[in-house]
Amino acid sequence: MGFNNLTGLYALLALIPFILMYLIRPKNFEKVIPSLMFILQEKNKFIKASFLQKLLRNLLLLIQLSIIVFLAFSVASPYLQIPHTVMVRNNVIVLDVSASMQTKDGMGTRFSNAITEAKNNLGMRNTLILAENTPVIILEDASSGETLDLLNKITPKATSTDLGDALLLAGDILGNKKGVVSVISDFLPTEGSDLLIAKRSLTAKGNTVNFIDVHNEAENAGITDVIVDKDETIVEIKNYIDREIKVGVELIKDNSKSSEKELTLLPNSKEKIIFKTLPGVSRIELKVNDDMQIDNVAYISAPEKKETNILLITNNPDGSKIKSAMSALGVNLEVREPPTVNAYNVNHDIVIVDDVSKELFVPTDFVDLKKYVEQGGILIIAAQENLAELNTLDLLPLIIDSKEDKTTSVCADVIGMIFPKDPFSDEPCFTSTNKYIKGTAKNDSLTLASAQLDSSPLIIDMKKGLGEVVYYGIIDKESGFYSDIFYPIFWNNIVNYLMKTENIMDYNYKGGKVVVISEQEVKTPSSRLKTNKVLLDELGIYEFDGKKIAVNLVNEKESDVGRENVELKSDLNNFSAEKVKDVDNFDLEVPLLMITVLLLFFEFIYIKRRGDL
């Protein structure tokens, strides 16, 4: 026992005058009493034992003495130190919900075993952290009942594992408080901070970190990568089993089998197969008997294909490199040769003017093309040596200065859809030309590429009315660009850019990515919610921004569920897992006052019964 206010014990000095009062005996005096009373008193004395007789005589003394003692001690604010384990108060559970936890284990899964372990390791107050590729706090400082209810609703996700960062997050939550952290996992982390360093950080602060392993032996073969293009989809399949297996692979659209292939996979090998990319939502299914199902399915989403109608106006159709590129893209291409252009009769998505003769091109055709653009059409004007002599009205986004007979590199100025980050962020110059038109881009236009020699704009985009005009300033016959493998890709990117065609990669994601959107109702594979931030951690189709988004695991390390991190587990076993002890001060001041009140009430009853009141 301890005291918060030792000076309060001076109140015990009140016992000195109290005892002296009882020691002072009153003087004897004579009193006449009836004989009958004397006889009754003698009879009463005969019945009571001598010990009880003394007790009754001194009971009031004991009661009043106790009252003084309890009051004195309550002023001193006594307390008792009660030891206990901190798990009762500060309990954090780090639960692995990565894809590998869906591995079969007997009649259940690793995850079902993990849930059982979590329920067996609850405290009075609990915090629950889900270890995905990004740790997520789903419950903080909750009762065991609330935690049990939530544990019954949690399902494993289609993501990789980051146990280290989840453990560090547990330490941040505990702060200066001591606690018990239970990490329940198969301990196959695929990314994030070092788990051992994270554990040392927590134990150094006096916390207990318990590792509960639910790993079991397993065999698996699964889809480890999906590369979706607008025309074809490449699927990578890996066999993690130490024997040769045969795998059936099906492409399913609207619950109907669209295509089927069979693969023979050697032990610990992987193969790639190609399917045609179907518009809308489809899925790839592996027909294989293994211990993890989530990587046996991959979803594919592609925007509905729309045919692009392009009109090419040229006097050199056989030598036009642009025509060859457009033909390779599979667009609906029409070619018209001046003077028969009929520009008044144009309802195409894109019109390209390339290598036209000044003498044959009817000037009024540019008048009609101007109306076409202002009403929402898209016009591409390709550079040619006598471009300055053509009366393009005010459609050309370039103010021409001169024709330069100099060799220069052509470099991308804007990294994006036409010139993607890979590889142009590292090397923006992609070709060279022997001749080019020197000039200045008009106001309110965007220069996409320019000559390295003097920064003359060579690819310009300009809004015009409701439409758009693009200047393509590379003279193909003066450059080797047309023989580059990027040339058809460039024109494909230009068409997609102008037609506002969405990148098919924006329809297909790996599990674990966070997408920021405008606040709206989002449909996930398992629920609906209103949010402005979507965590893509479930296998299947999400719906937001008017699109259907496919999310897949496709993680080679996460699918390797048969491996066991022997080195990690050996290091983890070197740490002891003793519960942290703590001490609470239980204040006795209020209980003592309550006892004093009860004694006062008992004293009143006793005096009343004795007849003094």
Confidence of residue 410 (pLDDT cuts 50, 70, 90): very high
Q: Rounded distance, CA 11 to CA 4, Å?
A: 15
Of 531, 546, 541, the closest CA to residue 509 belongs to: 541
Neighbouring-strand partners of residue 248? 262, 287
Find all residues with CB under 8 Å of 255, minimum gap 6, and list them.
none
Q: Rounded distance, CA 474 to CA 493, Å?
A: 16
CB of 470 within 8 A of CB of 493? no
Name which of 46-50, 124-128, 197-201, 422-426 the model is least confident about: 46-50
Q: Where are the domains of the chain?
A: 2-76+590-610, 86-218+562-579, 221-302, 309-498
Of 141, 131, 143, the closest CA to residue 168 belongs to: 131
pTM across the whole model: 0.66
The pLDDT of residue 9 is 66
Confidence of residue 534 (pLDDT cuts 50, 70, 90): very high
Name which of 454-458, 513-517, 569-573 the model is least confident about: 569-573
Backbone angles phi, psi at 462, to 5 degrees: -140, 135
The helix (H) or strand (E) run that includes residue 612 is none
The pLDDT of residue 51 is 45
Helix (H, G, I), strand (E, B) or coil at 158: coil
The whole-number average pLDDT for the span 434-438 is 95
pLDDT tens for each residue of 39-53: 555 555 444 444 444
Backbone angles phi, psi at 394, to 5 degrees: -110, 25
Count of C-beta atoms within a 10 Å radius of residue 84 = 12
The pLDDT of residue 55 is 46
The whole-number average pLDDT for the span 196-223 is 90
The pLDDT of residue 603 is 73
Query: Cis omega (within 30 of 0) on the bond before 397?
Result: no
CB of 550 within 8 A of CB of 508? yes
What the block records as the tokens of 219 is 């065999």
CB of 514 within 8 A of CB of 533? yes
Q: Do domains 221-302 and 309-498 have the same CATH topology?
A: no
The whole-number average pLDDT for the span 144-152 is 93
Confidence of residue 66 (pLDDT cuts 50, 70, 90): confident
Residue 475 has pLDDT above 80, yes or no: yes
Q: What is the CATH number of domain 221-302?
A: 2.60.40.10
309-498 has which fold?
Rossmann fold (3.40.50)
The pLDDT of residue 49 is 45
CB of 169 within 8 A of CB of 202? no
Confidence of residue 25 (pLDDT cuts 50, 70, 90): low
Alpha-carbon distances, residue 187 vs 122, 164, 191, 239 (angstroms)? 21, 11, 12, 21
CB of 462 within 8 A of CB of 397? yes
The CATH class given to the 86-218+562-579 domain equals alpha beta
What the block records as the tokens of 436 is 């080019």
Q: What percent of the chain has pLDDT over 70?
A: 84
Q: Rounded distance, CA 613 to CA 605, Å?
A: 10
Confidence of residue 482 (pLDDT cuts 50, 70, 90): very high
The pLDDT of residue 574 is 59
Give residue 420's identity as a one-letter amino acid code: P
Confidence of residue 200 (pLDDT cuts 50, 70, 90): confident
The pLDDT of residue 590 is 76
Find all residues with CB under 8 Å of 20, minimum gap 6, and list them.
none
- Helices 50-75 and 589-610: crossing angle in degrees, nearest 10, is 150
Find all residues with CB under 8 Å of 438, minimum gap 6, and list them.
400, 401, 402, 403, 404, 451, 454, 456
* Chain mean pLDDT for the chain: 86
Considering only the C-alpha atoms of the chain, give the largest distance between any 2 of them, rounded to a whole number of Å: 159
Pairing of strands 256-265, 270-276: unpaired
The helix (H) or strand (E) run that includes residue 252 is strand 245-253
How far the first Cα of the chain sits from its last, in Å, is 39
Pairing of strands 350-353, 378-382: parallel
The whole-number average pLDDT for the span 47-65 is 57
pLDDT tens for each residue of 229-279: 888 999 999 999 999 999 999 999 999 999 999 999 999 999 999 999 999
The pLDDT of residue 576 is 43
What the block records as the tokens of 339 is 């003077």
Of 218, 224, 242, 239, the closest CA to residue 109 belongs to: 218
The whole-number average pLDDT for the span 45-67 is 58
The pLDDT of residue 11 is 66
CB of 325 within 8 A of CB of 491? yes
Apex 482 CA angle, 481 and 484, nearest 5: 65
Pairing of strands 332-336, 309-313: parallel
Give residue 53's identity as a one-letter amino acid code: Q
The pLDDT of residue 256 is 93
What the block records as the tokens of 129 is 């952290």
The pLDDT of residue 578 is 44
CB of 355 within 8 A of CB of 335? no
